[in-house]
Structure 1
C-alpha cells in the first residue's frame, strides 16, 4: 500500500506541473500567438514605380463592420468573445504592420441607432479601447446605418452625436503626403433635399481636388453581387439577389453624381459583410472617361463571417495597391485548440507510462527513489 501511495504521489507531483504548463501554452497560442502566425503572412504590396520626389507612400489599413454589440442583441459571452477576437486581431495588425492611418468603414456599433446617450458614450469608450492605435497612427471613421440608422430613421440628434464623438462629419477631406481621401456619409446621399443631404451636397461641391480615394459605407450602385468573383464574396444564391438602391447600395443617381464630381481613382465601401471587386467605367461626356476599381471590404467581425478580413493599402499619387489580409478562421481556432489538447493528453499518458516503468525498475533493482 505504501508503495502504491508513493507511486501515485510521485506521478501527480510530476504530472500536475506538465498539465498546467501545457494548458497555459494552449491558451496563449490559441488566444494570442495564432493571430501573429496567421497575420504575419500578409504584408504591404510594393508599388510598381517609385513615387515622384521620393515621397514615402501612405500605408493605410481598412476595416469595416465591427458591429460592437449593445444591450439588446446577442448573448454576453458572444459579445465578450467577438470583441476579444477583434481586439487581438487589430492589435496584432498594429504590431505587425504599423500603418500610418486606419479607416473604419462604418457600422462600428450594432445598436448605435437605438441606444440612449449613456450607452452610446460607453460604446465609444469601448471602441477606442478595443481598437486603440499607437502614437503616429491616425484613425478615421465613416458612419454606417447601424450607427445612426437608415436615412428615414436618422434624427439630427443621432447624426450630431456620432459626428461629435467620433469626429466624423458628413464630408471629410484628408490629405496625406499628396494623397487625398474623401470620407462621405452614405445615408446623406438620399437625394431628397433633407438638411443632412443638403449640407453634404454643399460640402462636396466645395471640393476642388480630384483623383481622390473615396471612402464610404455603402457600395456604389450595382444591381447585385453577381459581379463579385472573390472567394469570400457573398455565397450563392444570396449573391444573385437584386440590390435595393439606398438600402443595399447608393442610388444610381448619387453614384453618378459622386463619380462625376470627385473623379475617384479608387473607392472603398462595406455594408454587405462580403468581399467584392468592381471595375467601374463612367463616360460623363463623349471625350471623357472615368475608370477606377471599387473594393467592398468584408466584415472585421467573426460574428458576421467565419473568415473576417482587413485590407492593407499602399498608396502614392500614381498608384493604389491593395492587399487583403485574413485572420484566423473560427474553425481553425477551435480545431487547433482540440488538436493541441489531444496532443497534451497523449504526451501525459506517454509520460505516465515511461515514468511508471522507470519507477518500477528502480524499485525492483533496489535503487532509492
Structure 2
C-alpha cells in the first residue's frame, strides 16, 4: 500500500525528467565538402570565446489569436521549452528566423498580426535578451498577387533591423550578414524589388571598396544584363562576401551544381513528402509549393553581386546541405514546427573568429507523435494511480 500511495509522485518525477529529456536538442556536426584543417567533430571543442554562435530556425507557423486550445496548451508549450532548453544547452550569441513566422500572415489583419508577434515573443523566452533577426517568408506576406508594399513595410517594422522592403544588412563582430526579401525577387517586377536591389547593390559596392583597401586590386568592372536584372560585374573571389540569409532557396542547376552532404539524397528540392499529410491543414498551405526556388536570373544576380560566404535558406521544411558550382555552400534550415513536420529541427552554426571556417550542426527535436503517445500513457497511469489510491482499503481486500 505504501508503494501505491507514492505512485503519483513517482509519475510526476518521471514526467519532469521526460520533459527535460525531450526538450534537449540532439545536434550532429555536418562536415563540409571542403573542411578546414583541424576542424572539431564535436560541438564546443576547439571553440573560442570570440566565435559567433548562432541558432537558425525557420517556419514557426504561429497562429496567434487563431490558435486553438491544442496549439496553445500543447504545441506552443513545447515550442517554448525547445527554445529555452536550446538556449541553456547551446548558449548561442544570436538567433536567426528565416521566415514564415506566421502560418497565414498574408491573410491577417494588423490586429491579428499583433497577436502573432505577441505569441512569437512568448515562445522565444530567453532569446529576447539576445540579438535576433527575422526574415519574411511567403506565408508572412503572401504570393506575387498579394504583395503590398504598405503591408510589408508595417510587418517589417515589427521586427528589428528590417527596412520597408523587408531587407537588412548588419554585422556582429567581424561577421557580416545580408538578408533579402526573396519573395520580392521571386515575383519579378513589383514595388518591393527596387528596395531589394538597392540593398544588394549597396552591399556589393561596400564589399568592393573594402577589398580595394585591404586586399588585391579589383579589375575594371562592366555592366551585365540577364533578362530583367542588371548588375556590375566584379572580380572578387567566390566566398569573399557576407553571410546571405534567404527564405527561398536559390535556383539549382544540375550542370553547375554539385550535391554535398545531403540528408535527403535527391537531385532537386522536391520535398512535398516533408509535409504532414492529414495531420495539419497548414502543412502544405502556402502561396508556393515546397520545391519552389528563386529563378535563375535572381540567383545569378545574387552570386555575382554579393559573392556570399555561405547561404542559409528555408521554405522546404527539410534540412539540406548543398555546394554550388563555385564552391559556395547553401544550408536549408528545417521547419521548427509540429504544424509542418513530425520531427522538427534547426541549425546551429559557429563562425570562427579567424573568418576562415564555419561549423554547421543539424539539431533534431522530439517527434510530436512520440510526445503525444508518452504523455497520453503517463496521463492514463496517473488516472489509474489516483483511482487506486482513493479506493477504500476494505474494498480492495474484499
Question: What's the TM-score once normalised by structure 1's chain length?
Answer: 0.75
Give the root-mean-square deviation of aligned CA atoms: 3.8
Aligned equivalent of 1:8: none
Residues 310-340 of structure 1: CA deviation (Å, up to 9, x unaligned): 1110113111110011111223324444666
Aligned equivalent of 1:60: 54
Residue 92 of structure 1: how far off its partner (Å): 0.6
Whole-angstrom distance in 1 between the partners of 2:49 and 2:85? 27
Aligned equivalent of 2:142: 149
Kept after mapping to 1: 8 A contact 2:182/2:247: yes
Kept after mapping to 1: 8 A contact 2:262/2:322: no
Kept after mapping to 2: 8 A contact 1:112/1:148: yes
307, 330, 336: which one pairs with 1:300? 336
* 1:42 pairs with 2:27: yes
Runs of 5+ in structure 1 lacking a partner? 1-10, 282-289, 361-369
Cα gap change, 1:203 to 1:49, in 2 (>3 Å): same
171, 179, 185: which one pairs with 2:181? 185
Moved more, 57-66 or 129-138: 129-138
Question: How many residues get paired?
Answer: 324
Kept after mapping to 2: 8 A contact 1:211/1:263: yes
Residue 49 of structure 1: how far off its partner (Å): 5.7
Kept after mapping to 2: 8 A contact 1:43/1:97: no
Residues 258-277 of structure 1: CA deviation (Å, up to 9, x unaligned): 01111012111111111211
Residues 219-247 of structure 1: CA deviation (Å, up to 9, x unaligned): 111279x96941598888858xxxx8998
Whole-angstrom distance in 2 between the partners of 1:94 and 1:181? 22
Report SS of the residue matched to 1:133: helix
Whole-angstrom distance in 2 between the partners of 1:336 and 1:80? 16
The structure that has the greater radius of gyration is: 1
260, 263, 269: which one pairs with 2:307? 263
Residue 79 of structure 1: how far off its partner (Å): 4.6
Whole-angstrom distance in 1 between the partners of 2:339 and 2:290? 24
Whole-angstrom distance in 1 between the partners of 2:270 and 2:198? 39
Whole-angstrom distance in 1 between the partners of 2:381 and 2:265? 32
Runs of 5+ in structure 2 lacking a partner? 40-47, 208-239, 275-287
Report SS of the residue matched to 2:311: strand
Cα gap change, 1:44 to 1:100, in 2 (>3 Å): farther
Whole-angstrom distance in 1 between the partners of 2:9 and 2:270? 42
Structure number having the greater helix percentage: 1
Question: What's the TM-score once normalised by structure 2's chain length?
Answer: 0.70
Residue 86 of structure 1: how far off its partner (Å): 1.1
